[in-house]
Amino acid sequence: MWAARRASQRCGSVFVRRLNVLSASNTKPFYVTTPIFYPNAEPHIGHLQTLLIGDIYARYNRLARPWNPVHFLAGTDEHGLKIQQAAAAAGKEPGAFCEELSKRFQELAEAASIQSTSFVRTSSPKHRKVVEHVWNELTAKGLIRKTTYSGWYSVTDECFYTKKQVVHAPTPENPEARHAIATNSAVEWHEEENYVFRLREFSEKLLEHYNEHPNSIYPAQYHLDVVQYLKAVIDGAQGEGLDELSISRSIDRLSWGIPVPGDPSQTIYVWFDALLVYLSGVGYPDFEGAPKDLLPWPPNMQIIGKDILRFHAIYLPSILLALDLPLPHHILAHAHWTVDQKKMSKSVGNVADPMKTIADYGVDKVRWYLARAGRSRTDVDWSQNELEKYSNEIQSLLGNYVLRVTSKKLFKSLDGTQEMSIKQIYQHYKKQDDSKSKSLVDLIDTQRTTPARVKHGIENLEIAEAVRALVLLLREGNKTLTELAPWKKNTPPELLYANYVTGLETLRIAGICLQPFIPSTAEKLLDMLGLERERGRTWRAVERVGGTDACERVKKDIMDIHGVPLFQSKKPLPATVAKPV
C-alpha cells in the first residue's frame, strides 16, 4: 500500500496558506526533524538528501521569520537487531560500534553545512529516560500488555507483517521463502512472548485527523495511502495482527536496546524507542505545563524517506494520541536516490559516498545537485554525468555571471552617468520599443516575481520547483547581459549603467534566495555586494524591489564592488559509487 501512485493535483494555494498560518501567525518555534539514521553502515547520499531537505527548511524559516526560533533535530538510531548483528560481524561491542559510526553521520552533517540545533543519539541516558517514562505512562493507562505474538518478521525492516502484507517468493535455496510486499525484504515466521501496544484503539481518531487535515502528509498520494490503510485496519481488511503493535523482543533474540521497565527478559522494540527521539530532543516530559508559545512541540515538519511512512504516520501519532500530545503538522515523504534503479544499500554494494563526492566537487555543488534533481514523488537515479552537468550549470549561471557583471573593463565609460534606481530604470526603458530595452524590462519583471516563486516552491514542499525559479532568473540575467553586449564600444553609457545596476539586482535577489540551498556560496556573493548581515539578507529584504531600506541595498558606491570567484574549480575523481568487492 505504500507504493507510490501518480499524485493527484492539489491546489498549491491551500497548502501555502496553511503552512503560513502554522509558521507565521503562530508564535510557536519552528520545529523540523529528519529521521534518525541507523548507523549499521557508513552514510550514503540518501542520508545526505534527507539532511539537506531539513536544512533547507530550517534556513528558510530563519530568513522568513528571523524573530522566531528554529529547532532542527537530527541524530542516530543506535539500538536493534541490525546494529547487534553488524557489530558482531565487525567484531566490536555494539556501543563502540555505534560510537564510531554515529561520528561519521555527524561528520557528514558538518561537511555538508547542515545547521541542526540538536543531534540526538538513542543510546544517550537522557533519551532512555524518556522512553522509560513513555512506556510507564502507557502501561498505567492500560495500553500495554504482555502476550504471545506471532507474524512474519523482517530483520531488514525490523517489523512484523501480517499474512496479507507478504507474498510467497520461492527460491532454489528456500521454496517456502516469503517477502514483504511493501519493501521486498525477506520475512520469517516468528512466534514469541512480547509486549504489545493497543494500536487499533487510535485508528478511528487518527483517520479523523487525516480526513480533517488533507495537507498533513505530502505528496498527496501518501496521504491517500495512509487514509486507505487506516480504513482497512478499522474494517479488518488488512488481516490479523494490526489490532496491536508488538513493542518488545525477547532478550534472547535482541539484547542491544533498552530493557522493558520491570522486565529484564524483554528489550523495547527499536522503532518504539526511535520514534520517541522527537520528544526527547526537545525536553519531553519536562516541557509539560510550560507556555505553548515557547515550546517547539509539535513538529511543524517531519522529513522522512517514503519507506518509513507507516512508522511516522501511524505508529508515532498513535503513541502521541495515547499521551494526549498534539500531532505533527506536516510529514514530507521524499523519494529515494537509487543506483541503476535500485535503492542504495551497503549489502548490495551500490552506495554513493557523500563525503568523497563533497571532497571532489565542493559542498555547495553537491547541495545544488541534490536540491535541483531530487524529487518527492519519483525515485532519482544517482548519476555522475548529471552531477557534473548541474555542477557546471551553477558554475556558469552564477559563478561566471558574477565575473561578467562586475568586470572592470565595463566601468570605464560610466563616469558622469546619471544614477538611477531599479524602479527608474524600469520606468525609463518600459517606454522604449527596441530589443535591448525590452530585454532589460523582462529581466526586471523576472526579478520581481522570483522571490514569490521560490517561496511558493518551498512552502508547497517542492524544492526542485523553488530552485528552477532561481535558474530562470540567472538564465534571464545571462541572456540580458549577452543581448546588451556592454563590452561593445558603441554601447551608450546610460545603457551600460542600466545593465550594471540590473545585473547587481539580479545577484542580490539570487544571493538572498540561494541561502537555504547553497549557503557558503550565497554568503560570498552577499558579502561581495556589501549587504548588511542582520537585516539586509532576510526574506523581507528580497521581496522589496531594489531594497527599500539602506540596509537592504548593495554598497552605496557600486563602483567599489569587486567580483570574486564563487566556486573553486576541482577536477572530480572518477568514481563516487562504491562497487562490490
The domain that holds 468 is classified in CATH as 1.10.730.10
362 and 410 in a single domain? The answer is: no
569 lies in some domain = no
360 and 409 in a single domain? The answer is: no
Enumerate residue ranges in the chain where pLDDT < 50.
Answer: 1-25, 240-241, 572-581
- With cell 556560496, the residue in question is 521
Range of the structural domain that residue 397 is part of: 386-560
Determine which helix (DSSP H) or strand (DSSP E) holds 233, and give its type and residue range: helix 220-235
Instruction: Give the count of domains, the chain.
Output: 2
Q: Identify the pLDDT of residue 27.
A: 75
Strands 351-352 and 577-578: antiparallel
449 and 547 in a single domain? The answer is: yes
- Which three three-digit cell numbers place residue 490? 558603441
280 lies in some domain = yes
Picking from 67, 44, 2, 564, the residue whose alpha carbon sits closest to that of residue 344 is: 44
288 and 185 in a single domain? The answer is: yes
- With cell 569587486, the residue in question is 562
Q: What is the pLDDT of residues 33-83, one digit of tens each?
A: 999 988 888 888 889 999 999 999 999 999 999 999 999 999 999 898 888
CATH number at residue 207: 3.40.50.620
51 lies in some domain = yes
Q: Identify the pLDDT of residue 208.
A: 96
158 and 54 in a single domain? The answer is: yes
318 and 410 in a single domain? The answer is: no
Picking from 354, 428, 418, the residue whose alpha carbon sits closest to that of residue 387 is: 354
According to DSSP, residue 491 is labeled: S
Picking from 230, 223, 246, 238, the residue whose alpha carbon sits closest to that of residue 166 is: 238
246 and 314 in a single domain? The answer is: yes
| In contact, 152 and 191? CB cutoff 8 Å | no
Picking from 164, 299, 313, the residue whose alpha carbon sits closest to that of residue 230 is: 313
487 and 407 in a single domain? The answer is: yes
173 lies in some domain = yes
Distances (CA, A) of 53 to 313, 347, 361, 383, 443: 19, 26, 19, 19, 29
User: Cα separation of 446 and 510, whole Å?
Assistant: 11
Which of left, alpha, beta for 126 (phi over 0: left; psi -120 to 50: alpha)?
alpha
Q: Identify the pLDDT of residue 573.
A: 40
> How far is the first Cα of the chain from the last one, in angstroms, to the nearest whole number?
35
Which residues does 397 contact at the CB level (< 8 Å), separation at least 6?
Answer: 471, 474, 475, 478
367, 382, 397 - which closes a domain: 382
- With cell 568487492, the residue in question is 581
User: Cα separation of 122 and 279, whole Å?
Assistant: 12
173 and 315 in a single domain? The answer is: yes
User: Cα separation of 477 and 528, whole Å?
Assistant: 18
224 lies in some domain = yes
340 and 392 in a single domain? The answer is: no
363 and 319 in a single domain? The answer is: yes
Burial class, 347, CB count within 10 angstroms (exposed 0-12 / middle 13-18 / buried 19+) = exposed
Q: Identify the pLDDT of residue 555.
A: 64
Q: Identify the pLDDT of residue 339.
A: 78
User: Cα separation of 484 and 503, whole Å?
Assistant: 11
242 lies in some domain = yes
Bridge partners, residue 332, by sequence:
218, 303
Q: Identify the pLDDT of residue 152.
A: 80
User: Cα separation of 459 and 89, whole Å?
Assistant: 44
369 lies in some domain = yes
pTM of the model: 0.88
417 and 332 in a single domain? The answer is: no
User: Cα separation of 78 and 97, whole Å?
Assistant: 9
Helix (H, G, I), strand (E, B) or coil at 507: helix
382, 410, 437 - which closes a domain: 382
